[in-house]
Amino acid sequence: MQLTQAQLDQFHTEGWLFLPELFTPEEVAVLREESAAVLARNREEIWREKNGAPRTAFAAHTYNEAFSILGRHPRMIDPVEQVFGEPVYMHQFKINAKAKFEGDVWQWHQDYGTWLRDDGMPEPRAMNISVFLDEVLPINGALMLVPRSQKHGNLQAGHDKQTTNYPLWTLDNDTVERLVKDGGIVAPTGKPGGMLMFHGNLVHGSAGNITPYSRRIVYLTLNACSNYIRKPTRPEWIAHQDFRPIEKVADDALLKYARSHRQAAE
């Protein structure tokens, strides 16, 4: 899968790109089913909100076949390799959940700030690329992005260990307000199967979810192989240390898995 020049131009200018319904309902259905099973498990890789609701399931691609396929899927890998101009490896894999009524906030932050400070990543040549498993609505904790904020580079941040159960390098209100005056705020929404990609320095965050509509998104953090992390401080299942290029599966691999999974259930 290759991005068009117009799509590349938007990504480089605005810092983000959304591709609606890139995965089919049949492919998404099996990922939804598998994500529910993963988030219900009791593993060290699965972090929960202070109220007990699931927040993040790390490294599901290492113990779940459906997510192993997704983590090697060309529709997710090819666009990033096209932007970076080289092979990529999996720096991080996670399922982020905003449970209905109970999903907590993600404070304003840049991802590269964490990758630099906690993992020793030399440059912002990694990015998050994600697929919606539930419909993302303006009301159920949609991810908010500050367009063009990636052009300001790595910003000063504080290490917030109090707001949620997930420690995060966060930006102060004055910084966010200044950036928003320049770029505004957008919140990409769409049906299950949509795919979002955004620059590692793009400022983003999300509000809590007090609606009866759950919101699950799978994130692949893909890093250019030449940009491998130098000083990891986090567990390997959070910041992976296998720097080999991802070996992609066939484009129909997830569809084949979904059909075989359904047949086995019948």
Domain assignment of residue 54, given as a range: 5-265
Domain count, the chain: 1
Tell me if 188 sits within 8 A of 202, measured CB to CB. no
Q: How confident is the model over 124-135, as a mean pLDDT?
A: 96
Which pLDDT does position 169 carry in this prediction? 83
Q: How confident is the model over 140-163, as a mean pLDDT?
A: 87
Q: Answer whether residue 14 shows pLDDT above 80.
A: yes
Residues forming a β-bridge with 198: 16, 128
Which pLDDT does position 159 carry in this prediction? 74
CA distance 148 to 173: 17
CA distance 70 to 60: 10
Which pLDDT does position 71 carry in this prediction? 98
Q: How confident is the model over 67-83, as a mean pLDDT?
A: 97
Which pLDDT does position 51 carry in this prediction? 81
Strands (E), 30-136: 46-48, 54-58, 88-98, 106-109, 126-132
Look at residue 233 and give its three-state secondary structure: coil
Which pLDDT does position 162 carry in this prediction? 65
**Domain harbouring 109, CATH code:** 2.60.120.620
What are the structure tokens assigned to 50, written together? Answer: 């202070």
Q: How confident is the model over 110-122, as a mean pLDDT?
A: 95
Q: Answer whether residue 160 shows pLDDT above 70.
A: no
Which pLDDT does position 157 carry in this prediction? 77
Q: CA separation (Å) from 106 to 82, 231, 239?
A: 29, 25, 19
Q: Answer whether residue 102 shows pLDDT above 90.
A: no
Which pLDDT does position 99 carry in this prediction? 86
The pTM of this model reads: 0.92
CA distance 224 to 83: 10
Residues present in the chain in total: 266
Which pLDDT does position 164 carry in this prediction? 63
| 44-51 contact pairs (CB < 8 A, 24+) | 44/237, 45/237, 47/165, 47/166, 48/165, 49/99, 49/102, 49/103, 49/104, 49/164, 49/165, 50/104, 50/164, 50/165, 51/102, 51/104
